[in-house]
Structure 1
Amino acid sequence: MKKTLYLFMLLAACSSAVKAQFCNTQKGTLLYYETRDTEKETVQTDTSCIVDVYKSGDTLIVKQENRGKRAEFGDAAEQITFRCDNDKTTRMTLMSADYLKEMMYRYYLDGYHQANPEETDEEKMKKGFDEFMEQLHCEGEVYIPLKTDAKAGDKLPESKFLYKLKPIKMTASVSNGTVIGFETLTTEAGTFNCLKVSYQAKYKIMFISETTYMTEWYAENVGLVKSEERTKRGKVMATSTLVRIEKPSI
């Protein structure tokens, strides 16, 4: 990326720093997590990268790509979007119909170009995708609102996502969400004042379903600091802890 463009994006992010948001707003920042799987007794390093930061009207939008355990709902949750509309709420979208359609369109174009390298008619390419999309039903959004003025006991709204392409049907949802409160957490990356939330995440494709119980800690201007994945009986299955923040060099 050209230095001038990078500086422009950095200034755009800094201009919104007066608002409190539960995400990192510096494009190119890498967040490193130590992920422990207690069942498999493994430890690995996962990364998240801030891939885009921009304004849409009065809303600051941050796109973060996750690799490894943090992609909780599969490939379609590889990217998380944060929307900061005001100085109190950050809307964290884990999965949405809009993003899935964008992702599928990119995959479609890649495949089309490989099969038809000499084709340049964009309208023709788009028509083929539109015909495919007529067979697809996709709706909803799985999200969590993170609020600076949240209080212990506050309930998080339920949210759902549906994908249907005969004979395949996939659903994802977040339910039974609760704000536990604010808590100071110290990791290798530093000491953070975190908003602690818990919720139930459910993923189902065809006849296979999985339900996990998540507890997560989020810090302002950082994002996720720690997460715990538990069974219904409370057994910890996996944890992810922020161990390093690597900012891009200018």
Structure 2
Amino acid sequence: MKKMILFIFALLACHAGYAQYFCTIEGAELHYVNYDEAGQSVSNETAVVGYVGRDGNNLSAAYVNKIVTNKLKGNTSYTRFDWNYDGNQTVCVEDLGFGPYIDSDSDPAKYNTAARAAMQEELKFKGDNSLILKRNAKAGESMPDRSYSLIVNMLKNEITLSGATYMGEERISTTAGKFDCIKISYLKRTKVLLKTTTHRINEWYAEGIGLVKSESFDMKGKPAGKTLLVKIVK
């Protein structure tokens, strides 16, 4: 019973505040499982809310995500997501320089604006990898296309996100609870050298939480992977 009360408190705490699509409780943990195309678990991911700030109508937070890949040596990696809400829309940007910075054995506490700029230059990052979620978006409403590029393992990766559309609201149930979500769908095209791969991505976001579920499919409709929120811990 005590664990259940704590779980409910953590869930409500993450929802406290504005109508933003991210958690605003510093130290809260969102636990995910990532699955492959066959439905097998391939990694566990924990997003820790490491920073929350308020400036007038703007609300911001940073998630630091730790990904532990199953059955793989040197299996731990990191990334970071920066969130902002201005009272009308939520903007999420994955900081693609954070993981390489941590991999270089640099001090996470010293990762600042200058360090980020240096990592982006090293990765030759260009473009826009932001995600924008509007309040009260209607089903069928389109979202702007985005594209960006960077160097990964000495190879140039070019990513294009296109045809994004709001699909309406849907309730999603996982082991973490039941969530009223906004669903979006888009095409993700990744080009590395002469090879291009395109997937259909469906994602569900809940206010006060962020990502609850993500599914990807190849262009023939076959599953290519899935991510699920499985637990919330304060």
Note whether the superposition's TM-score is higher than 0.5: yes
- The corresponding residue for 1:245 is 232
The alpha-carbon deviation at position 47 of structure 1 amounts to: 2.0
1:222 aligned to 205, 209, 215, which one? 209
In 2, the alpha carbon distance for the partners of 1:136 and 1:160 equals: 15
In 1, the alpha carbon distance for the partners of 2:123 and 2:213 equals: 36
- The corresponding residue for 1:64 is 63
In 1, the alpha carbon distance for the partners of 2:189 and 2:66 equals: 20
More helix by share: 1
Q: One-letter code of the match for 2:140? A: G
1:156 aligned to 125, 143, 148, which one? 143
In 1, the alpha carbon distance for the partners of 2:144 and 2:138 equals: 15
The alpha-carbon deviation at position 103 of structure 1 amounts to: 6.6
1:52-131 maps to which residues of 2 (within 5 A)? 52-55=51-54, 58-68=57-67, 78-86=79-87, 88-94=88-94, 100=97, 110=106
Q: One-letter code of the match for 1:24? A: C
Output one character per residue of 1:3-45: Cα deviation in whole Å (capped at 9) or x when no partner. xxxxxxxxxxx8x954210111112111112333233x52253
Q: Residues 107 and 66 from structure 1, CA distance in 2 versus in 1: closer, same or farther, beyond 3 angstroms? A: closer
In 2, the alpha carbon distance for the partners of 1:242 and 1:231 equals: 22
Output one character per residue of 1:160-179: Cα deviation in whole Å (capped at 9) or x when no partner. 113369x8533222111011
In 1, the alpha carbon distance for the partners of 2:217 and 2:226 equals: 9
Q: Which runs of 4+ in 1 moved over 6 A?
A: 102-109
Contact 1:77 1:94 in 2 (8 A): no
Q: One-letter code of the match for 1:51? A: G
- The normalised TM-score by structure 2 is 0.72
Q: Is residue 2:46 matched to residue 1:47?
A: yes
- Show structure 1 runs of 5+ residues with no match: 1-13, 70-74, 112-125
The alpha-carbon deviation at position 76 of structure 1 amounts to: 10
Q: One-letter code of the match for 2:147? A: K
Q: Residues 55 and 208 from structure 1, CA distance in 2 versus in 1: closer, same or farther, beyond 3 angstroms? A: farther
Q: Residues 76 and 85 from structure 1, CA distance in 2 versus in 1: closer, same or farther, beyond 3 angstroms? A: farther
Q: Alignment RMSD, CA only?
A: 3.5
- The corresponding residue for 2:30 is 31
1:235 aligned to 218, 222, 229, which one? 222
Q: Is the partner of 1:173 in helix, strand or coil?
A: strand
Q: One-letter code of the match for 2:82? A: T
Aligned length: 204
In 2, the alpha carbon distance for the partners of 1:77 and 1:154 equals: 33
In 1, the alpha carbon distance for the partners of 2:123 and 2:167 equals: 38
- Find the structure with the greater CA-based Rg: 1
Q: Residues 107 and 148 from structure 1, CA distance in 2 versus in 1: closer, same or farther, beyond 3 angstroms? A: same
In 1, the alpha carbon distance for the partners of 2:211 and 2:66 equals: 14
Output one character per residue of 1:72-111: Cα deviation in whole Å (capped at 9) or x when no partner. xxx998222211111x31112235xxx63x7767777949
Q: One-letter code of the match for 1:230? A: F
Output one character per residue of 1:157-196: Cα deviation in whole Å (capped at 9) or x when no partner. 111113369x853322211101100011222111111001
Q: One-letter code of the match for 1:27? A: E
In 2, the alpha carbon distance for the partners of 1:246 and 1:76 equals: 21
Instruction: Give identity over the alignment, percent.
Output: 28
Contact 1:143 1:174 in 2 (8 A): no
Contact 1:177 1:199 in 2 (8 A): yes
